[in-house]
Amino acid sequence: MKLKEVINKIFLIEIFKGLFLTLRMLFSKSVTIQYPFERREVYDGFRGRHALVRDPFTENDKCIGCMRCSTVCPSRCIYIKREKRENKMVVVDYIIDASRCIYCAYCVETCPVCALVLTEDYEYSSYKRKELIFNKEQLLKNWDDFASKWKDDFYFNKFWQPPGINPSRWPKTKREQKPIQLRKVVEIRKEEKNESNN
């Protein structure tokens, strides 16, 4: 044991081991993703830029103004303005302060109608703070941005449903949640298919 240590010390065995390790690393594949030219694959459950889902049929948002999202929000960054018009509650404006948001997605989990989504866009940094405070118009525009890039006609993310809770205890809306429809086109295509099948 003693002799071995002496030999190790004289012939710098440890240093040579290190040198061979780095030499092996020199010829192995590098892990760099060259960001502006290449992009990392976005995984399920990614929580990016906020968006209000635009219903392809009514061309408007789905929000019913139930206030659950602004109540559950831990950083209190959701502001909803509503008015009673003709015995009906109308959402006038819906504001999310993205600079204060912590991206916990509680608002998405709690929404009974799937009106709010954290999309997979993550490149929305800005030089002005004002541009990070999304109003209803901007939120709908965010959704359009995302929908135009999404290849499929439906969008669904299993992380929207409350995790760790038995599905039987979920609210009915969550249990019966369907993928969000992005385009009206889908229906037409289905009809076309049916026709061609016939």
Which residues in this chain contact another protein in the complex, by CB under 8 A? 15, 18-19, 21-23, 25-32, 34
User: Based on CB atoms, which residue is closest to another protein, 30 or 166?
Assistant: 30
Q: Please, what is the minimum distance in Å from the beta carbon of residue 179 to another protein?
A: 39
b or e along 124-162 (b: 16 or more beta carbons within 10 Å of the residue's beta carbon)? Answer: eeeeeeeebbbebebbbebbeebbeeeeebebebeebee
Q: Of 24 and 84, which has the nearer Cβ to another protein?
A: 24
Nearer to another protein, 30 or 148 (CB): 30
Q: How far is the CB of 57 from another protein (least distance, A)?
A: 46
Q: How far is the CB of 1 from another protein (least distance, A)?
A: 23
Give 34 or 58: the residue with its C-beta nearer to another protein.
34
Min dist CB 6 to another protein, Å, is 14
Nearer to another protein among residue 18 and residue 74 (C-beta) = 18
Under 8 Å between Cβ of 120 and 46: yes
Contact by Cβ (8 Å): 140, 61: yes
Q: 21: which residues sit within 8 A by CB, 6+ positions away?
A: none
Spatial separation of the C-alpha atoms in residues 182 and 188, rounded to whole Å: 13
Furthest C-alpha separation in the chain: 95
Q: How far is the CB of 3 from another protein (least distance, A)?
A: 20
